[in-house]
Structure 1
Amino acid sequence: MYEVDFVEFPSTSSAASGRFFERAFGWATTPYGPEYADVRAAGITFGFQANAAEQARAPLVTIRTDDLAAAREAVEEAGGVVTVEPFDFPGGRRFHFREPGGSELAVWCAAE
C-alpha cells in the first residue's frame, strides 16, 4: 500500500504557520517543539519545518507505506536515489529520495 498523506513545507515559523491554518480553515495543529508543527486537514497532514538545517528546498511530498524496507528497494530499483537515510521521528520512520526527474520526496511508515 502506498498513499500520499503528508506534505512538509519549509517555514520561518512553524507556530505562525499552524495558527494561520487554525484561524483560516479550523484545522487542528499539533506542535512538536518550537520548530515543527503538524496541521491536520481532511485526508492529509501538512508539516511545517522551521529548522533551516532540516528544511527541504521545496514542499516535501511524503508517501505512507507499511513496509519501509520494501519501499526503499522499489525506489532504488526504479532508478530513485536515497538522499536521506532512514531515521526515526515522533510517530514513525522515514527516508528521502530523489526521483529521476530531480524532485525530492519521502516515504514513511508508522512506528511499530
Structure 2
Amino acid sequence: MKPTNNHINYVEFKSTDLEATKTFYSNAFAWQFTDYGDTYIAFENSGLQGGFEKTNQPIINGTLVVLHHNDLEGIKSKLIQLGATISVDIFSFPGGKRFQFLDLSGNELAIWSE
C-alpha cells in the first residue's frame, strides 16, 4: 500500500532482547521479521510495518498500539502462555471490548474486538 499523508505508516518499539521479541510476535501473531544488524529488526505481516530497536535501558511509556482480534479470550490465553503479562484485563467500551498486555520487554499493547 502506498503511504498516505497523515496516516500511521510505521510503528517503532524498543526491545531488550531481539531474538525473544521475534519468537514472541512470530508465535503470537505470525509476524515476519527482517534483521538489520545487531540492534534493529523490522516486522511485517502485521497490518502496519514497524520495527524494534535494541535497548539496554528500561522501557517506559511506550506507544500503545491497538490490534484487533475476533477472539479476545483465546488470544489473551495464548499471550499468557507465551509469557505476556496482562496489564489491564478485558473491559467493555462503546463499540467493543479490549485488554492490554505487556510483551517480554515491557512494551504495552492492546487488543480489541467488537
Identify the TM-score tier after normalising by the shorter chain. 0.3 to 0.5
TM (normalized to structure 2)?
0.47
What is the TM-score normalised by the length of structure 1? Answer: 0.47
More strand by share: 1
